[in-house]
Amino acid sequence: MPRIALAMHRSSMLYEAAIAAEIFGVDRSDLAPGGEWYDLVVCTADGLPHPWLPELPTASYAELARADSVVVPSSDDVGADPDPVLIAALRGAHDRGVRIASLCTGAFVLAAAGLLDGRVATTHWMHAEDLARRYPQVHVRADVLYVDDGDVLTSAGKTAALDLCIHLVHRDLGAAAASGIARRLVAPAHRPGGQAQFIPPPAQPRGSGGLAVTLDWARARLDQPLTVQDLAGHANLSTRQLARRMLAELQVGPLAWLHQQRIIRAQELLERTDASIDQIAVSCGMGTSTTLRRNFHRVVGITPTTYRASFRLTQP
């Protein structure tokens, strides 16, 4: 019976903690190939029951080193220094070969413990840049739902915690157990794509001066074969001057900006219209549905059809 320690800290968030408790703390031995589910223990700083999970077995952080896996829930204060006792307990557990997993912004706790140094990791896309800035030795990916690096795992934002927990069940107890619990929770056993599909488009500059007029002009003509020379000509700049201005103001070059806008237009049309994929490809300047599908999947992580099914705002 795999023993999992849920390391509750002073800034733990209820949603992700509840996901871990639901997956690992409810007896579903009928789904397990050996007839045994998980043995979950809630670990707190003082060893007393946590008010959110009072009925579950409880122990102090010293128990982390005796578990098979440790799950660290998300934090609602990523700027605060984690409890040094918890940090020491996580390091000790990892040194003993315990598998460590964080949910959402729980990655900040693992990073503070040095467990993500030199590793690929993820967290909620809203905090990914902050994690990368504060811990430059961590290779942060904001476009995935979770990262399995063997003995250390991290999940992206919020419901991605469920994806990671089901993945752990898959690793420990097999595909049938993972599919079985996913069905009971009315959730997919594996979601396509990553966080990229949930990240909103970047804010667009507006106004009557600067590059805003040219950018608005270009957005109104995305169905046309625009070039960098077209943008530069409208802005009365050389292509080199345009590139410098856009990099300074938008942190993206002209060609990349055009491509970004075409993807954003495709997302808008998929969400708000009944237009076919072929029609959308023409409307956003991709030309053919094949080109749109290839570029859309590369940027967003899923196909246009899957995106529409997930984010459509109007009914057919």
- Measured between alpha carbons, how far is 46 from 227 in angstroms, rounded to an integer? 63
- Measured between alpha carbons, how far is 209 from 228 in angstroms, rounded to an integer? 19
Per-residue model confidence as pLDDT tens digits over 104-134: 999 999 999 999 999 999 999 999 999 999 9
User: Residue 240 CB: number of other CB atoms within 10 A?
Assistant: 9
Average pLDDT on 156-160 reads: 89
- Measured between alpha carbons, how far is 109 from 184 in angstroms, rounded to an integer? 31
User: What is the structure's pLDDT at 307?
Assistant: 84
Alpha-carbon distances, residue 36 vs 21, 33, 65, 88, 132 (angstroms): 16, 8, 22, 31, 39
> Where do the structural domains in the chain lie, given as residue ranges?
3-196, 212-311
Least reliable range by pLDDT among 125-129, 151-155, 264-268: 264-268
Helix (H) or strand (E) holding 95: helix 84-95
State the chain's mean pLDDT as an integer: 90
**Which tokens belong to 119?**
């590793």
Task: Show the beta-strand stretches assigned E in the chain.
Answer: 3-7, 39-44, 58-60, 69-72, 99-102, 120-121, 139-140, 146-148, 152-155
Residue 152 phi, psi (nearest 5): -135, 125
* 3-196 fold: Rossmann fold (3.40.50)
Domain 212-311 has CATH 1.10.10.60: yes
**Which tokens belong to 39?**
């043995």
Looking at the DSSP bridge assignments, the partners of residue 120 are: 139
Per-residue model confidence as pLDDT tens digits over 205-234: 554 457 888 998 999 999 999 999 999 999
312 in Cβ contact with 271 (< 8 Å): yes
Alpha-carbon distances, residue 152 vs 99, 102, 103, 149, 253 (angstroms): 6, 8, 11, 5, 36
Q: Is the backbone of residue 5 left (phi > 0), alpha (psi -120 to 50) or beta?
A: beta
Residue 30 makes CB contacts below 8 A (sequence gap 6+) with none
User: What is the structure's pLDDT at 95?
Assistant: 96
User: What is the structure's pLDDT at 203?
Assistant: 55
Per-residue pLDDT band for 314 (boundaries 50, 70, 90) equals: low
**Which tokens belong to 233?**
């000509």
Per-residue model confidence as pLDDT tens digits over 48-107: 999 999 999 999 999 999 999 999 999 999 999 999 999 999 999 999 999 999 999 999
- Measured between alpha carbons, how far is 153 from 17 in angstroms, rounded to an integer? 16
Kindly state the greatest CA–CA separation across the chain. Answer: 72
**Which tokens belong to 280?**
């959308």
Per-residue pLDDT band for 34 (boundaries 50, 70, 90) equals: confident
User: What is the structure's pLDDT at 316?
Assistant: 45
User: What is the structure's pLDDT at 208?
Assistant: 41
